[in-house]
């Protein structure tokens, strides 16, 4: 249910509506606008990167995942409401609320992921993770559908983006707050506080890094995540901008595109979870990375709408499957007493990739004078690097190390 609740934020704010609105309306289509957007996201991810392992270690020690999740949820909801104040020219205000809301979203994403090993048996981690991601995309569709319905009404009444986008932010924040309530009312904190010791949260993280040799498959998979997630995060953050700037899509066309992609992403996550448990986590992730490479080549070469729509739906299927599969593999490789900490390290890897991917895309567009096709091709090379690193990950060896640790 929490995946259902928080996905509206990424779908509406980061992927479909506010990013393109920021570039075209808030920043007035300035040449630096895409780079400014990616730089703000990158700063928020840097803050998550620095704080995630510490939050995870503190949550493990104090059995406080749910308590911290409540605070990050409140921060994201309030930050999303704040985006409603960002009109034309309010660049600093928009970036400040994007920074706040995205930091809280990412921190909460790590915390809720750490509940996964408490809720699923080891041989069903992929299936349960797939349920979560699948319901997440349904939640994203609900938020996007509500916003699309309002935008259609507003446009029919002669209102422009400066009016209907702020209202869409309020709709998204409200749905996030309401849909998260079952998590806080029904989910139990099953972990127990660990004995206090002189070791600080930093100490626990440093100890894990010092012992990385014992968890070499987790270590290699974290590095793999940094690269292939860089490509995924660029697609998430810049899909609407690419559709409008490179393909000439209107705002309504772009929202419809993202709406359909969320449907295919939900199908990918739900169908792939059970299959992943059967064929193995590493092989499943490798298949999704091949799909991502095909998608990048199609989007780069597309001259008409049809091949781009095909590429977008391949991205949807791979998005749901790869995100679900990665979370399940981390749960499979994490020692039982350090779920929060290891999912914090997972969050660190994802957020580092969230800096690398969008910033690469933004820098290429700026340097090349707005060549979005070149930007997606360069960013897509990260999938190739991730696939090469994944070849060295042995899930069963990593599982044995986790059980011994």
At 110, is the pLDDT very low, low, confident or very high (cuts 50, 70, 90)?
A: confident
Residue 262 included in any domain: yes
120 vs 196, residue with greater confidence: 120
Q: Say whether both 220 and 350 belong to one domain.
A: yes
Question: Could you identify the residue written with the tokens 């957020």?
Answer: 351
Q: Say whether both 320 and 239 belong to one domain.
A: yes
Q: Say whether both 165 and 52 belong to one domain.
A: yes
For residue 87, count CB atoms less than 10 angstroms from its CB and return exposed for 0-12, middle for 13-18, buried for 19 or more.
middle
Mean pLDDT of 199-225: 72
- Residue 86 confidence (pLDDT): 92
Helix or strand (DSSP H, E) at 238: helix 216-245
Q: Say whether both 174 and 257 belong to one domain.
A: no
Q: What angle do CA 243, 297, 273 make, to 5 degrees?
A: 85
Q: How far apart are CA 163 and CA 183, in angstroms?
A: 32
Q: What is the pLDDT of residues 137-170, one digit of tens each?
A: 788 889 988 998 898 899 888 888 888 999 999 9
pTM above 0.85, yes or no: no
Is residue 71 pLDDT above 90, yes or no? yes
Q: Which of 27-41, 49-63, 174-188, 303-317 has the lowest mean pLDDT?
A: 49-63
Is residue 131 pLDDT above 70, yes or no? yes
Is residue 197 pLDDT above 60, yes or no? no
Q: What is the pLDDT of residues 24-68, one digit of tens each?
A: 899 988 878 888 888 898 898 888 878 877 777 777 777 778 889
Q: Say whether both 179 and 221 belong to one domain.
A: no
Residue 200 included in any domain: no
| CATH code for the domain of 370 | 1.20.1250.20
Is residue 75 pLDDT above 80, yes or no? yes
Instruction: List Cβ neighbours of 257 (8 Å cut-off, separation of 6 or more).
Output: 239, 243, 249, 309, 312
Q: Are 254 and 243 in contact (CB under 8 A)?
A: yes
Give the residue numbers spanning the domain of 23.
1-187
Neighbours of 323 (CB within 10 A): 26
Is residue 199 pLDDT above 60, yes or no? no
- Mean residue pLDDT of the chain comes to 83
At 212, is the pLDDT very low, low, confident or very high (cuts 50, 70, 90)?
A: low
Is residue 277 pLDDT above 80, yes or no? no
Q: Say whether both 182 and 301 belong to one domain.
A: no
Mean pLDDT of 362-379: 86
Please name which of 178, 226, 184, 213 lies closest in space to residue 8, comparing C-alpha atoms.
178
Q: How far apart are CA 340 and CA 204, in angstroms?
A: 11
Q: Say whether both 183 and 233 belong to one domain.
A: no
Mean pLDDT of 200-211: 63
223 vs 117, residue with greater confidence: 223
Please name which of 400, 25, 54, 93 lies closest in space to residue 244, comparing C-alpha atoms.
25
Q: Say whether both 170 and 218 belong to one domain.
A: no
Q: How far apart are the first and last CA of the chain?
A: 31
26 vs 121, residue with greater confidence: 26
Given 123, 152, 187, which residue is the final one in a domain? Answer: 187
Is residue 198 pLDDT above 60, yes or no? no
Please name which of 228, 246, 209, 222 lies closest in space to residue 356, comparing C-alpha atoms.
228
Q: Are 358 and 229 in contact (CB under 8 A)?
A: no
> What Rg value do the Cα atoms of the chain yield, rounded?
20
Q: How far apart are CA 265 and CA 270, in angstroms?
A: 9
Q: How far apart are CA 67 and CA 328, in angstroms?
A: 23
Residue 204 included in any domain: no
At 127, is the pLDDT very low, low, confident or very high (cuts 50, 70, 90)?
A: confident
Is residue 201 pLDDT above 70, yes or no? no
Q: Say whether both 181 and 217 belong to one domain.
A: no
Residue 195 included in any domain: no
At 84, is the pLDDT very low, low, confident or very high (cuts 50, 70, 90)?
A: very high
Please give the tally of structural domains in the chain: 2
Cα 63 → chain centroid: 25
Is residue 216 pLDDT above 90, yes or no? no
Q: Say whether both 339 and 263 belong to one domain.
A: yes
Residue 194 included in any domain: no
- Residue 386 confidence (pLDDT): 93
Q: How far apart are CA 18 and CA 154, in angstroms?
A: 16
At 202, is the pLDDT very low, low, confident or very high (cuts 50, 70, 90)?
A: low
Mean pLDDT of 389-398: 86
Q: What is the dihedral of CA 314, 319, 320, 322, to 10 degrees?
A: 110
Q: Are 390 and 285 in contact (CB under 8 A)?
A: yes
Q: How far apart are CA 116 and CA 128, in angstroms?
A: 8
Instruction: List Cβ neighbours of 304 (8 Å cut-off, separation of 6 or more).
Output: none
Residue 81 included in any domain: yes
Q: Say whether both 172 and 245 belong to one domain.
A: no
Residue 198 included in any domain: no
SS3 content of the chain, % helix, strand, coil (to 5): 85, 0, 15
Concatenated DSSP letters for 320-361? HHHHHHHHHHHHHHS-GGGHHHHHHHHHHHHHHHHHHHHHHH
- Residue 323 confidence (pLDDT): 74
Residue 41 included in any domain: yes
Please name which of 283, 292, 274, 291 lies closest in space to residue 236, comparing C-alpha atoms.
292
Is residue 213 pLDDT above 70, yes or no? no
Please name which of 310, 307, 313 lies closest in space to residue 261, comparing C-alpha atoms.
313
Q: How far apart are CA 204 and CA 192, in angstroms?
A: 17
Cα 60 → chain centroid: 23
Is residue 362 pLDDT above 90, yes or no? no
Q: Say whether both 13 and 145 belong to one domain.
A: yes
341 vs 311, residue with greater confidence: 311
């Amino acid at each position: 249910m929490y995946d259902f609740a928080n996905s509206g934020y990424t779908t509406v704010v980061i992927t479909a509506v506010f990013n393109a609105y920021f570039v075209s309306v808030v920043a007035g289509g300035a040449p630096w606008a895409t780079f400014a957007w990616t730089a703000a996201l990158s700063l928020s991810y840097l803050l998550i990167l620095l704080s995630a392992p510490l939050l995870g270690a503190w949550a493990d020690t104090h059995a406080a995942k749910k308590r911290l999740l409540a605070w990050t949820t409140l921060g994201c909801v309030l930050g999303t409401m704040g985006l409603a104040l960002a009109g034309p020219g309010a660049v600093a205000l928009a970036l400040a609320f994007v920074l706040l809301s995205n930091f809280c979203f990412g921190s909460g994403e790590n915390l809720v992921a750490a509940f996964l090993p408490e809720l699923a048996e080891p041989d069903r981690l992929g299936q349960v993770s797939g349920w979560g991601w699948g319901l997440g995309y349904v939640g994203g569709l609900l938020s996007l559908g509500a916003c699309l319905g309002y935008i259609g009404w507003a446009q029919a009444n002669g209102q422009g983006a400066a009016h209907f986008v702020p209202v869409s932010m309020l709709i998204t924040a409200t749905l996030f707050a309401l849909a998260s309530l079952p998590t806080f009312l029904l989910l139990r904190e099953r972990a127990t506080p660990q004995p206090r010791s002189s070791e600080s949260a930093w100490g626990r993280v440093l100890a894990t890094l010092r012992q990385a040799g014992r968890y070499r498959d987790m270590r290699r998979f974290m590095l793999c995540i940094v690269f292939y997630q860089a490509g995924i995060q660029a697609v998430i953050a810049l899909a609407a901008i690419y559709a409008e700037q490179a393909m000439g899509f209107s705002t309504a066309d772009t929202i419809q595109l993202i709406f359909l992609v969320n449907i295919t992403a939900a199908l990918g996550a739900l169908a792939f979870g059970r299959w992943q448990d059967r064929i193995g986590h590493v092989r499943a992730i490798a298949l999704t990375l091949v799909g991502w490479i095909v998608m990048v080549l199609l989007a780069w070469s597309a001259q008409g709408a049809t091949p781009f729509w095909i590429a977008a739906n391949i991205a949807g299927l791979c998005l749901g499957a790869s995100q679900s599969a990665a979370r399940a593999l981390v749960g499979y490789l994490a020692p039982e007493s350090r779920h929060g900490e290891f999912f914090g390290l997972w969050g660190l890897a994802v957020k580092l990739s969230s800096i690398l991917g969008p910033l690469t895309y933004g820098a290429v567009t700026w340097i090349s004078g707005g060549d979005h096709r070149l930007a997606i091709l360069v960013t897509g090379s990260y999938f190739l690097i991730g696939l090469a690193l994944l070849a060295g990950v042995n899930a069963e060896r990593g599982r044995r190390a986790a059980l011994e640790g």
